[in-house]
Structure 1
Amino acid sequence: MARIGVINISDGRDYVHSGITDFIRSNEDKLVASLTAAGHEVVRAPSAVSANTLATSHARGIEAADVDLTVLHYCVWAFPHFTMLAAGALRGPLVLVANTDPVQPGMVGMLAAGGALDQIGRDHVRLWGAPEDPALIAEIGVRASAASAVARLRGATFGRIGGRPMGMNTTVANTDQWQRKFGIDVEEIDQWEIVRRAEAADAGEKAKARAWLEQHATVRYDGAKLTPELLERQIGSYLAMRELIDEWHLDFSGIKGQPELTGHFATMDVAEAFLNDPYDWNGPKETHVCATEADMDGALTMQLMKHISGTPVLFADVRHYHADRDIWDLCNSGQHATWFAARSDDPAENLARVTLHPEVFFFPAGGASVEHVAAPGEMTLGRLTRKDGEYRLQLMLGEFENYDEPTTAELTARSTPEWPHAFARLDAPAETFLSRFGANHIHAIPGDRRAELRAVCALLDIALDEFTRG
């Protein structure tokens, strides 16, 4: 959840303010309690703003607390210039909230303050309702979550392991644009670092991890493309990435993989799957977004979605459209985090549905692909893509579906049965999707999180390209 600042704005006349102080404090207590109950951390100003000096000092205090978003609360008539002074000391997003209690003209105060902010071009959002109103608290939460996600991008470092894979321009972004737009630095790291470190990784740790996978998942060794030695090489690649993440302080990353590693060392399927998981054989861990094919815009989308949802994020190719069923097969080598198999925080529950297959002919170096079918449920899908050099968020709602075993086997056999699949019904006609979507990679998180992602677009000044059957 987010860190929210709360400042109440009051009347500047001493004789008025003294008579409404208790009313303001009572409403602020209710608002803070509601936000805290929703899971947010709240930083409140020491008192209501009733003088120009307090407007500035309280706002500076909230700014110093490093909040994601500030709520300016109006439950009485409030002098508008207090809002202007506070806004001048606050760099982050502002939400103006009017109490709808008819006893005091809080709505009048919000409108006067909002109009003044409009005159100077200061962006803000206006909301209204009782401080205990769940709908109001949810609306504030949407904007706070979006603000937190955007703020956590700034100052982050992306580790790009290798370069452009197989001529895919949509995976390569302009580093200057990333720094200017998102505040993200890009660290370029050679793929040789994975080879070197994987071979030097602790043999006991690799054997421990292999035994854990053999115990919980189905491992189909074939003596050629998948052997215990190749699986341990892939595990070593994961350990190598963990080292690089720690040494270079990488917040998220991407591995080129193709064609060098997949042709001559091993596929990165195991490493990518477990980096994106909230666990490995040593127990729970923080999810680290890692995009296959060093997909920068894919990784950026995933990092935003991770900050919004707090869950792993799906990475997939839009592999096939089953027109007879109006469903999409979202499938890409071993990239899908194993968490999606059952959406459980218990790795044993997820891995019971995972099979490690020998890699297919695309990847002659061999190793395991991490196959499973994503669990059913409502999903938010999308991707940051670029049109004429400018970013846009292409966004839609969908649903993952599961079927009986014969149907699932028949559907996976039409593409690559050894790879992970998510069968998605999208809230978008196929003609619309195929005509407009700006990449072959797509990303997804559970639930309907479109409201937060729309708010992200507003904060980043990015165009929203939303797909819907409506």
Structure 2
Amino acid sequence: RSIPPDVQEKLLQFARAGLAVATMRGKSYLSMGGVSMGIAGSIVDHAFFESYLGMRVEVIDMTEFVRRIEREIYDKDEFARALAWTKKYCKEGRDYNPPHQQRSREQKDKDWEFVVKMAIIARDLMIGNPRLAELGYAEEALGHNAIAAGFQGQRQWTDHFPNGDFLEAILNSSFDWNGIREPFIMATENDCLNAVAMLFGHLLSNTAQVFADVRTYWSPEAVKRVTGYQLTGRAAGGMLHLINSGAASLDATGQQERDGRPVMKPFWEITPEEARKCLEATTWYPATTAYFRGGGFSSNFLTRGEMPMTMSRVNLIKGLGPVLQIAEGYAVDIPLEVHRILDERTDRTWPTHWFVPNLTGSGPFKDVYSVMYNWGANHAAVSYGHIGAELITLASMLRIPVAMHNVPEERIFRPSVWGAFGAMDPQGADYRACAALGPLYGRYA
């Protein structure tokens, strides 16, 4: 006898979510720095990680980067190789800063060396590096057993040193100077809650993740007024401009393909040619010194459209605890000139993803604007594929209620006991079940 198709999918969904739970347990979130610009998501709640995810929090001060750079606590051979790779594959773009705010060529060359060292050191801090033990640094060689991390950067670091955009983008990608490898999870501005959503997405999809600001809703009327272009297709009802200076993986360029269509692949399926195309589609612009006073470089690319994507976010609410938000949708294409005009309304040195959520006609998904209006923070994690159902199953295992989602009912799989908390009100039942059962790893207080 064969297993019915719907049961097959439920078993696989359960297994994928269960593996994610098991993979996180006993690992660490590494907080590199503290709270960035008062952002609530970068106020790292140790109890949340321990009670809900079975993880611990490790904390370092950003001066650890300075110490390791100045005392040369890194693999110099790897640095030489990494710098040569960066010079070959990471093309530098035009400096859009006003002449009086531009850094000299000598400063930019030193900035490149600095940010490459930052990337190597951030990785060593996360997972360790046995080479450091050979150099006499046994403790530093151990790392922090981190499955995810965040770099504060702004403002104390970036007012004085080159920004963390390069380290964030490269670590989040599926390739670097050492070749193709599993992507790391690195949140900009030390937004640990977005790092958790990125971690969920990676463990369920096996792909690299995007960290983005939910920056702007562009209505069809506004686009027409500003550019003269009428949005069509998936974007006919408007679109969200997802953009952030740092932690979007270069995989999100959409230069990987399957059957002639843009995709983001698990790292073991990516070819060297696809990795090269992702790098070629990316330009590294000198950082905007109006707010990155210490210089650095920001990645810029435009995500190819028609890729299925899932936007998610974990929010932590006093008196309630964590909740998860999910919005399945698509990256969309618009004419390049239209993109240029809209992109220059914000920072043109950053990567852009034009995203349209799937609409249901009601609640937070009645239209595109309502999705942004109901989003709990300025940040979102974006994963390749429609993985909302897997996220819901994972959330039920961790006892994290889902505040909003647009996943069709037939794809949702939670433990059957959820029905006992209100089968006619599945969203309310989710909140009641999570509250009654409590966090997977013990009381959250």
- Normalised by the shorter chain, which TM-score bucket? 0.7 to 0.9
Quick one: which of 384, 395, 401 aligns to 2:314? 384
Which ranges of structure 1 fall in alignment gaps of 5 or more residues?
1-26, 28-129
Alignment partner, residue 274 of structure 1: 170
Residue 299 (structure 2) pairs with residue 370 (structure 1): yes
CA offsets 1:226-272 (integer angstroms, 9 cap, x no match): 71210110001001112212122222111101112211111000000
Give yes or no for contact 1:217–1:353 (8 Å, CA) kept in 2. Answer: no
| AA at the equivalent of 2:316 | R
**SS at 2:85 equivalent:** helix
Equivalent residue, structure 1, for 2:149: 253
| Contact map agreement 1:342 1:349 (CA 8 A) in 2 | no
CA RMSD of aligned residues (A): 2.0
Q: SS of the residue aligned with 1:263?
A: coil
What displacement does 1:300 show?
1.0
Deviation at 1:168, TM superposition (A): 0.9
**Aligned with residue 341 of structure 2, among 392, 410, 421:** 410
3-state secondary structure, aligned to 2:284:
strand
Q: Quick check: 1:382–1:443 contact (8 Å CA) kept in 2?
A: yes
CA shift at 1:431, angstroms?
4.3
How far apart in 2 are the matches of 1:311 and 1:266? 28
Deviates more, 1:212-221 or 1:201-210: 201-210
Rounded to whole Å, the distance in 2 between the matches of 1:221 and 1:255 is 26
Residue in 2 aligned with 1:355? 283
Q: Which runs of 5+ in 2 are unaligned?
A: 96-101, 129-142, 221-230, 232-237, 257-269, 359-364, 409-445
CA distance in 2: counterparts of 1:175 and 1:189, whole angstroms: 14
Cα separation, 2, equivalents of 1:331 and 1:275: 18
CA distance, structure 2, for counterparts of residue 204 and residue 142 of structure 1:
43
Worse-matched range after superposition: 244-253 or 422-431? 422-431
Residue type at the aligned position of 2:301: H
Report the counterpart of residue 49 of structure 2 in structure 1: 178
The higher-RCO structure (CA 8 Å, 6+ apart) is 2
- Stretch deviating more after TM superposition (267-276 or 321-330): 321-330
Q: Name whichever of 269-278 and 210-219 sits farther off.
A: 210-219
Q: Secondary structure at the match of 1:392?
A: strand
**Could you tell me which of 413, 418, 437 is aligned with 2:375?**
437
1:169 Cα deviation after fit:
1.4
Give the conservation status (yes or no) of the 8 Å contact 1:197–1:236: no
Determine the C-alpha separation between the residues in 1 that align with 2:286 and 2:175. Answer: 23
**Residue type of the alignment partner of 1:231:** W
Shift of the 227–205 alpha-carbon distance from structure 1 to 2, 3 Å rule, reads farther
Identity, % of aligned positions: 27
1:447 counterpart letter in structure 2:
G
> Structure 1, residues 65-116: CA drift from partner, whole Å, max 9, x if none?
xxxxxxxxxxxxxxxxxxxxxxxxxxxxxxxxxxxxxxxxxxxxxxxxxxxx
* Aligned equivalents of 1:327, 1:194: Cα separation in 2: 39
- Cα distance in 1 between the residues matched to 2:112 and 2:295: 9
Show the counterpart of 2:108: 227
User: 1:209 is matched by which residue type in structure 2?
Assistant: A
The one-letter code sitting in structure 1 at the alignment partner of 2:380 is I
Number of residues paired by the alignment? 341
Q: C-alpha separation between the residues in 1 aligned to 2:147 and 2:400?
A: 22
Contact between 1:197 and 1:237, CA under 8 Å: does it hold in 2?
no
Matched ranges for 1:34-113 at <5 A: none
Matched, 1:341 2:253: yes
Q: How does 1:278-289 map to 2 (within 5 A)?
A: 278-289=174-185
Q: Mark the CA change 1:348 to 1:466 in structure 2 (over 3 Å): closer, same or farther.
A: same
- Asked if the contact 1:207–1:232 (Cα under 8 Å) also holds between the matched residues in 2, the reply is no
1:207 CA displacement: 4.3
1:401: Cα distance to partner? 1.4
Kindly provide the amino acid, as one letter, of the partner of residue 219 in structure 1. Answer: E
AA aligned opposite 2:49: W
Normalised to the residue count of structure 1, the TM-score between the two structures is: 0.69
Segment drifting more, 412-421 vs 196-205: 196-205
Q: Is the 8 A contact 1:279 1:287 kept in 2?
A: yes
Q: Which moved more, 1:290-299 or 1:194-203?
A: 194-203
